[in-house]
Amino acid sequence: MDWAQLAEIASAPDNIPIVALLFLIPFFTWYGFRQALATDRLITRLEGDSKLAKTHHRKIEPYREGWDQKLYVWPYLLRIEFLSAIICTFILMVWSITLNAPLEEPANPTLTMNPSKAPWYFLGLQEMLVYFDPWIAGVIMPTLIIIGLIAIPYIDTNPLGNGYYTFRQRRFAILAFCFGFLILWVVMVIIGTFIRGPGWMWFWPGETWDHHRLVFETNQDLHQILGITGQPWIGMLGGAAVGLYFVLSGWLVHKLIVLTEFNRKIYERMTLVQYLTLQSLLLIMLALPVKIVLRLLFRIKYIWVTPWFNI
């Protein structure tokens, strides 16, 4: 173990936010899910007792007969806001007094930084560059992430869980979002920060960054593994493989969408456009881990090689 190396990465001023993320994200995930599970227990109780369901205030928050439903913003909300602002300022002040913002040497186009990393919040995209060409990882994927996020309210036809934490009533939506946000975004940012070293090579935490390390791994395209040569055939094979992925995983995702009685009810509420949008977004999101697995297990560089683009 090279503790010095690990300490150097973890204490680099610009990496402090990621160190903070390592604690904040698990904490708030736990914090949200704790309330979701408490609500779920209440939902189970109410579903089993229709009398109680009529009289219960239906929240996990404390409740007493005669309490006002609403409170004055002045002072009950404003005092909390002011207090938060003060605490936030305090944290920011202490952070700013103790740690200097990084300033490297003047920009020098002839001296490449190694590793040269994007700002930490874009490291997920940079990590994707390992598995996809820049036009996918740097342009198509970010665009689709934005479009997909914007589309969420319009493709989620589940009317339950509006305005309270719950897991039971929104299993599919919450698992899909958490997979995208926690695994494919936050974990990739953490990998990009702590694991990727010189030459964007994989260094386990505590491994010394060796600037002269060479890795002899030859990645092959799918058609090379299968021994197919000559262009129209290579392109057709890739197209068929990608098509097969969409059909197969589309079928699997469909099975998931209609897995339970409740999910089928929600599925019935979807229009065709909503369903197809949901499917496309999910399949493209899942393509990333699929490509990662293909690369790690079979050393596949491209699935689909054409004269114009490679996937």
| Residues from 55 through 94 that contact other proteins (CB under 8 A) | 57-61, 67-78, 80-81, 84-85, 88-89, 91-93
> Smaller CB distance to other proteins: residue 165 or 245?
165
Is residue 118 within 8 Å of residue 278, measured between CB atoms? no
| Rounded Cα gap, residues 208 and 59, in angstroms | 52
| Rounded Cα gap, residues 93 and 82, in angstroms | 16
Instruction: Report phi then psi at 228, rounded to 5.
Output: -100, 135
| Rounded Cα gap, residues 228 and 236, in angstroms | 11
| Residues from 197 through 236 that contact other proteins (CB under 8 A) | none
Residue of 1, 4, 7, 24 that binds other proteins (CB under 8 A): 24
Piece of 125-133, 219-227, 278-286, 296-304 that binds other proteins (CB under 8 A): 125-133
Query: Residue 30 interacts with other proteins (CB under 8 A)?
Result: no
CB of 227 to other proteins, least distance (A): 26
- CA distance readout (Å), 52 to 58, 176, 231: 9, 33, 69
Query: Residue 179 interacts with other proteins (CB under 8 A)?
Result: no
Is residue 165 within 8 Å of residue 35, measured between CB atoms? yes
CB of 197 to other proteins, least distance (A): 15
Residue of 6, 10, 133, 179 that binds other proteins (CB under 8 A): 133
Helix (H) or strand (E) holding 81: helix 78-98
Piece of 25-33, 202-210, 238-246, 290-298 that binds other proteins (CB under 8 A): 25-33
| Residues from 247 through 286 that contact other proteins (CB under 8 A) | 262, 265, 269
Q: How many other C-beta atoms can be found within 10 angstroms of the C-beta atom of residue 36? A: 19
